[in-house]
Copies of this chain bind each other. A is one copy, B any other.
Amino acid sequence: MNRTPEPPMRARVTERAAPTSADVARLAGVSRATVSYVLNDTEAVRISEATRHRVRAAAEELGYVPHAAARSLRAGSTRMVLLPGAHIPLGPLYGRFLAELQWALRRLDYTVVQYGTIGMSGDEAARAWAELRPVAVLSFGEPGLTAHGVEILKRSGARAVVTLGPEPVEGARLLHADQAAIGRCALEHLVERGRRRIGVVVPQEPGLEVFSAPRLAGAREVADRSGVFIEPLPLAYEEEPASLAARRAREIGLDAVFAYNDEYAALLMRALCDEGVGVPGDIAVMGADDLLLGRLQRPRLSTVHLDLVTGEALASLVDTAVRDSSADLGSTTLMTAYAVRRAST
């Protein structure tokens, strides 16, 4: 029976520092080396079953937890994968992709670190990342990662620096996420349907330019090629701006809108309806990302479907690059896009 007075809980917990391998060694009556061998199941060395057991028991009793920083300091490398940014609320599609990616990286025994870089320049950010000595860095293109930044990272031990995005950065591998293709798809579809005056929604939410700019650029490319009128339509994700945009679309006589993605498309379609504009009669509306949301609209939303590579695939690609940094990732394409016609165009 424990009849001694309750020890002060917080003190017990706070004051007693974390046990080290030396503590375990002392309790088990062996050396720190032996502790390390046992706890890591080092093959190259034979430890008697009796000793192993004593060490394990001691570690258990003390609640020993190895110190990751000490280990990686000694090892000279980490298993850390840095995902910069990702602090903008991405759509469900990318949200899911990112979740999947993290999950897959964990499975491959990497530690995923999200490192936000507010108001840092590209090179400051790269420096900050490099302090953590990550073994791989995945940049989604937001902060201007320069060739210099990439070299800093590589010098600090990053065996893979991968940018997902449209523009390559010298020294980094590029996984091509061709956002422009989405804009091209959408516009090709609309032109094919006979539309000649087309608006392109540009979300005003900060952080989305990475996606919206190339989508617009792709759209413009096709428009220019086909001699079709195109007009950017800035739009914040709120009802009021949406009615304004809807009114504007009517005023300048658009006959179609590519609405960045299905969410903005749903918003705009609602506003158009409320303005008495017929969809697709007066104005066709096209989304992108092929979200469930789009299928829920009436009329059902035409969209650009994206076949994204799975997070698992990307994770294993990163893993390959880490294991052999000269490995050729090929011109891995992150996604393919194609138009899906439903009722809104």
Contacts and interface: CB of A to CB of B under 8 A. Distances in A.
Interface stretch (A11-19, A24-32, A47-55): A11-19
A87 B86 CA distance: 13
A63 B154 CA distance: 11
A157 to B, nearest CB: 6
Contact of A115 (B63, B111, B118, B270): B111
A292 B63 contact: no
Interface string A318-330: 0000000110000
Nearest to A75: B69
A116 B131 contact: no
Contact of A267 (B16, B69, B296, B325): B296
Max count, chain B CB within 10 A of own CB: residue among A69, A92, A114: A69
Residue of A9, A67, A154 with most chain B CB atoms under a 10 A cut-off: A67
Contacts of A154: 13-14
Given A69-B133, A157-B18, A95 B106 contact: no
Interface stretch (A36-44, A96-104, A332-340): A96-104
Q: How many copies does the complex hold?
A: 2
A114 B102 contact: yes
A228 interface: no
Interface string A122-139: 000001001111000000
A103 B84 CA distance: 12
Contact of A67 (B95, B117, B133): B133
Contacts of A103: 87, 116, 118
A127 B103 CA distance: 18
B106 A99 contact: no
Contacts of A133: 18, 67-69
A66 interface: yes
Which of A18, A96, A130, A155 is the most central at the interface, judged by chain B CB atoms within 10 Å of its CB?
A155
B99 A89 contact: yes
Contacts of A114: 102, 112-114
A81 to B, nearest CB: 11
A165 to B, nearest CB: 19
Contacts of A96: 89
A156 B16 CA distance: 9
A248 interface: no
Nearest to A88: B99
A280 B240 CA distance: 26
Interface of A: 9-10, 13-14, 16-19, 63, 65-70, 72-73, 78, 86-90, 92, 95-96, 99, 102-103, 105-107, 111-118, 127, 130-133, 151-152, 154-157, 171, 237-239, 266-267, 270, 292-293, 295-296, 325-326
Given A65-B155, A86-B99, 8 more contacts: A17-B155, A65-B127, A65-B130, A66-B131, A68-B131, A102-B114, A106-B116, A270-B296
8 contacts: A14-B154, A18-B130, A68-B69, A86-B99, A89-B92, A95-B95, A106-B116, A270-B296
